[in-house]
Amino acid sequence: MLFETSKDKGRAGLALGIAWFGANGYSVNVPLNDTQWYDFVAEKDGKFYTVQCKATGSKDNVIDLRNNGGTKGITYDRVINHPIDFLFCLNKEQQMFVIPGEILRQNGNMSSLALRTERSKFANKNSLDTSQFLVSL
């Protein structure tokens, strides 16, 4: 998947996140603005879940878990600072991952996350095995 700009990445991540949750029996509710810490709310069986979406076009499939902005690109927030229920991730190969927020919080102070479809032979006990969260439409 070709991302020409960061906005392209964001749009693709959000669109496929909505598609995945919608295709898996969730009602998806998208806020009218983008000032909240989640991208959408997914509801299933009367339970509501907040979802943050991230996408990467990097060759190493690393997702930045920090939110950066402004003219100096300062980090102003991090995904794990909020009680998200799911982190939806998309890489340039259109592989999708749905990672429970609780798992992210248990893994501490991560600032990035490598999206892998197989457990890395170089992984240590503190690295998150994202292969177990790989999903498809």
Under 8 Å between Cβ of 92 and 74: no
For the segment 82-115, what is each residue's pLDDT rounded down to a tens digit?
Answer: 889 999 999 999 999 999 999 988 887 788 899 9
pLDDT at 91: 93
Map out the domains of the chain with their CATH numbers: 6-135 (3.40.1350.10)
pLDDT digits (tens, 9 = 90+) for 108-136: 778 889 999 987 766 665 678 899 999 99
Q: What's the confidence (pLDDT) of residue 66?
A: 78
| Residues facing 29 on adjacent strands | 41
Count CB neighbours of 40 within 10 A.
20
pLDDT at 107: 80
pTM of the model: 0.88
Q: Cα angle vertex 86, ends 113, 14, to 5°?
A: 85
Could you give the CA distance from residue 53 to residue 62 in angstroms, rounded to a whole number?
A: 14
Predicted pLDDT of residue 36: 87
Backbone region of residue 86 per phi and psi (left: phi > 0; alpha: psi in -120 to 50; beta: other values) = beta
DSSP strand E in the chain: where?
27-29, 40-44, 47-55, 62-64, 66-69, 74-78, 86-90, 96-100, 112-114, 134-135
What digits encode the pLDDT tens for the residues 42-82? Answer: 999 999 999 999 999 988 999 988 776 666 666 667 787 78
Angle at 132 (CA atoms; ends 129, 136), nearest 5 degrees: 130
